Amino acid sequence: MSANLIGLLIEATLQTLYMVSVSAVLGTVFGLPLGVFLATSQRGELLSAPLVNKALGLVVNAARSVPFIILVVAIIPFTRALVGTSIGTDAAIVPLTIAATPFIARLVENAIREVDAGLIEAARAMGATPLQIIRKVLLREALPGIALGLTLAVVSLIGYSAMVGAVGGEGLGDLGIRYGYQRFMPDVMLAVVVILIVLVQIVQSAGEWIAARVDRRAPRNRGH
């Protein structure tokens, strides 16, 4: 493989990391509070608003049901209006964020719903407000599950970032299509696949490590 192709691989990897990291942060910014609200707003819960909960749940389910490649194409006018173009890394961040937000929201909701209801009742008995219970009880107890959920979301975004290369996005997916497929260069395609696998393994291992570190229920090795 030539030095030029190695340079292209490095550039494409950095583009993929940029797209994934920015969309993961934005997806978390939007998805985390949405997930918290979905987990605490059914009838009789801390932020009881059943009608709003149902409406938001329908929107989240609808967004999650759209295949990503169709979502990318369907929102091209919105993407162009938002960032001024429908191709490139900045444009790819828009559909990646839209796809990540409802996915993260459901993962956060599920993690919070696994928290022992007895802890909520105990906090209520002590006079804690709903927001205090959410911040000091639910989020703290659900933190390991949220960390694992965000890890899964980032892994999914890596796959999505490769798919967006088929419709004008940059990064590893675009490089694999332009060189590995269209120019019949299997070594480039193999390199792209290997890099994607390595990225997923790094993210998965880091996420599991973080989840173990924030899990207050896990036993600690006090000998070190």
pLDDT for 218 equals 55
Q: Is the Cβ–Cβ distance between 104 and 32 less than 8 Å?
A: yes
Nearest to 16, CA basis, from 144, 183, 177, 199: 199
pLDDT for 177 equals 86
Nearest to 115, CA basis, from 43, 40, 53: 40
pLDDT for 198 equals 96
pTM for the model stands at 0.89
pLDDT for 219 equals 54
In tens, the pLDDT along 208-223 reads 999 999 887 655 544 4
pLDDT for 223 equals 42
Q: How far apart are CA 35 and CA 57, in angstroms?
A: 10
Nearest to 19, CA basis, from 211, 199, 194: 199
Q: How far apart are CA 165 and CA 116, in angstroms?
A: 43
Q: How far apart are CA 216 and CA 48, in angstroms?
A: 29
* 17: CB partners within 8 A, 6+ apart: 199
In tens, the pLDDT along 75-118 reads 999 999 999 988 889 999 999 999 999 999 999 999 999 998 88
For the chain, domain boundaries: 3-214
Q: Kindly state the tokens that stand for 88.
A: 């490139």
Question: What does each of the 224 residues of the chain score in pLDDT, given as a tens digit?
Answer: 677 888 999 999 999 999 999 999 999 999 999 999 999 999 988 889 999 999 999 999 999 999 998 999 999 999 999 999 888 899 999 999 999 999 999 999 999 999 988 898 899 899 889 899 999 999 999 999 999 999 999 999 999 998 888 777 889 988 988 887 777 888 889 999 999 999 999 999 999 999 999 887 655 544 44
pLDDT for 112 equals 94
Check if CATH label 1.10.1040.10 holds for domain 3-214.
no
